[in-house]
Amino acid sequence: MYPNQGSRPGQPGPYGTPYRPHTPQGGRPPRHGLGFTVVAAIVLALAVTIGMVTARMTTHEAITRSPLAQSPGIVSQPVDSQTSNADLTAAANKVVPGIVNVDTQLGLQNGEGAGTGIVLTSDGEILTNNHVVEGATKISVTALGNGRTYPATVVGYDRSDDLAVIQLSGASGLRTAPLGDSDRVAVGDAIVGLGNAGGTGSPTAAAGHVTGLNRSIIASDEAAGASEKLTGLIQVAANIQPGDSGGPLINSAGQVVGVDTAASQDFRFGTVSAQGGGQGFAIPINKALSIAKQIQAGKSSNTVHIGQSAFLGVTVSDANGGALVRNIVTDGPAEELGLAPGDVITGVDNTTVGSALELTDAMDQHHPGDTVTLKFTDQTGQSQSARTRLAQGPVG
C-alpha cells in the first residue's frame, strides 16, 4: 500500500485511482482546478463519518509510479483466495485482454493518476469510472490485449453513478471484455476484481466473494465538506486496491458482472459489519452498460454529460445557502468576472445553487462557449449577478 495522504488516523485513505500530487509533504492537492468541477459530484471521497468508513477510489493518494511491465493476457501475480484459486485465476485471465490501464495528467493540479478501464468496442470505446478521468487534462490508455498505448478523449460521463466512456484515438481490432449478467449475481458467489492495482501497469487479481447486493454508500470529501450517495452496488469481500477503479468485477465463468468503484478496509453498513478484510463495491454491469449506451448514443440528460466540460475557474466547497468560492483559477472566466475567494455562488441562470454539488450539477448542463448568468453574494453580503462565457476545462 501507499501513504494515505489526507486521511485521518485509523481510517483508510482513498482506494482506487492512485495519484501523486505535487504538493508539500502532508499537503492536500487542490480540487481539480475545477471550474464547475469544484468539489465535484461524487466528490472523490476520502472517508465518511465515523461508523461508516467508506473510502472512495479517488485520485487523491500518493503513489510511487513504475513503468508498464506486464505481459498482455497474463495476470502478473497469483489470485489471493481460499476458493478455487486456479479457476478464479483462469477467469481473470479470460478478461485481461479486454481491459486497459488509464493514466491521466492533472495539469491544473500538477499531478497524475492511474486507473483501469473495460473495452466495450474493438475500435476503442472504453468504460471506466468518472473519477478516474475527472480533472484530467491528458489521458493515455494502454490496451493489455496488444500492449499499445493510445491517446484518449472523453465521450461523456455520469457523475451520479460514477461512470464515463472514453474513446481511444487510432485504435482498431481490440479485444473486448466478455460481459455477463449482473442480475444473476448472488450473495456468496465467488468473484475476482481485476485492475491496475498500485498503478504499476501490471494486471493484478483480487479474489473473494459477494457479501451484499443493492448496497448504498456515501462517498464524501471532508476537506470540501460535500458528499454523494452511490446506490445499487454489489458489495464484495475482496482486496480492491488503489488503481483498480474502473476495472472489472468478474464471476467464476470469466465474465464481467460489475465495475469496481469504491472500497474500504474497515466498513460498516447498517447491521452489516466487516472489519479488516477489505470490502469493495462495484456498479452492476447491466446498469453500467445502460448508462454507457446512453453516452455512446450522445443522449444527454440531467445526469449524463456529453462532450467537453465547461469551465468556470473556481474551487468551491459547501456553504450555507450556496457554494463558497475557495480559490480562483488564473485567467479563467471567474477571474475575468471579478469573483473572489469568500464569495458565495447562489445560482446559474434560473437554477438555484445551494451547495458545491448543486453548482456541479448546474454546470454539467452546459458546454464550453455557453454564456450564463452567475448569481453570487460578495463578502459584503451584497447580491450580485453577471454574465460570463464558459471556457473549456478538464474532464468532469
Nearest-CA neighbor of 258 among 211, 168, 191, 188? Answer: 191
Cα(first)–Cα(last) distance of the chain, in Å? 27
pLDDT tens, residue by residue, 70-93: 233 344 333 444 445 778 899 999
Mean pLDDT, the chain, whole residue set: 75
C-alpha span between 345 and 314 (Å, rounded): 10
- Residue of 131, 158, 182, 266 marked catalytic: 131
- Whole-angstrom Cα distance, residue 163 to residue 171? 21
* Residue 260: strand, helix, or coil: strand
Q: CA 250 to CA 244: how far, in whole Å?
A: 13
Q: Which helix (H) or strand (E) holds 365?
A: none
| Catalytic option among 103, 158, 161, 162 | 162
Do 8 and 47 contact (CB within 8 A), yes or no?
yes
Range in 7-21, 127-141, 364-378 with the lowest mean pLDDT: 7-21
Return d(Cα 101, Cα 140) in angstroms, integer: 8
> Cell numbers of 83, please?
476458493
Q: Is 250 exposed, middle or buried (0-12, 13-18, 19+ CB in 10 A)?
A: buried
Q: Which three cell numbers stand for residue 73?
A: 493476457
Collapse the DSSP code of 81 into the 3-class scheme (helix H, G, I; strand E, B; otherwise coil) and give the result: coil
Grid cell for residue 60: 487523491
Mean of pLDDT values over 106-134: 91
Residue 146's Cα: distance from chain center in Å?
25
Query: The C-alpha cell of 51 is what?
Result: 461508523
- Cα→Cα distances 270→81, 96, 105, 274, 373, Å: 27, 35, 38, 11, 43
pLDDT tens string 266-306: 433 332 333 335 789 999 999 999 999 999 999 999 899 99
Judge whether 209 counts as a catalytic residue: no
CA distance 123 to 172: 4
Give the DSSP H or E segment for 91: helix 85-95
Span of 72-86, 246-260, 351-365 with lowest mean pLDDT: 72-86
H/E run at residue 244: none
Q: Which of 7, 245, 309, 317 is labelled catalytic?
A: 245
pLDDT value of position 273: 32
DSSP 394: S
| Beta-strand relationship, 248-251 and 226-237 | unpaired
- Quote the distance between the C-alpha of residue 100 and its chain's center: 15
Helix (H, G, I), strand (E, B) or coil at 54: coil
**202/20: higher pLDDT:** 202
Q: What pLDDT, on a 0 to 100 scale, did the predictor assign at position 395?
A: 67
Q: Do the beta carbons of residue 204 and residue 93 sit within 8 Å?
A: no
Amino acid symbol at 135: G
- Give helix then strand counts, H and E, for the chain: 5, 22
- pLDDT single digits (tens) 50-63: 122 222 333 322 22
Of the two residues 342 and 242, the one the predictor is more confident about is: 342
Write down the pLDDT at residue 49: 18
Alpha helices in 110-235 (DSSP H): 130-133
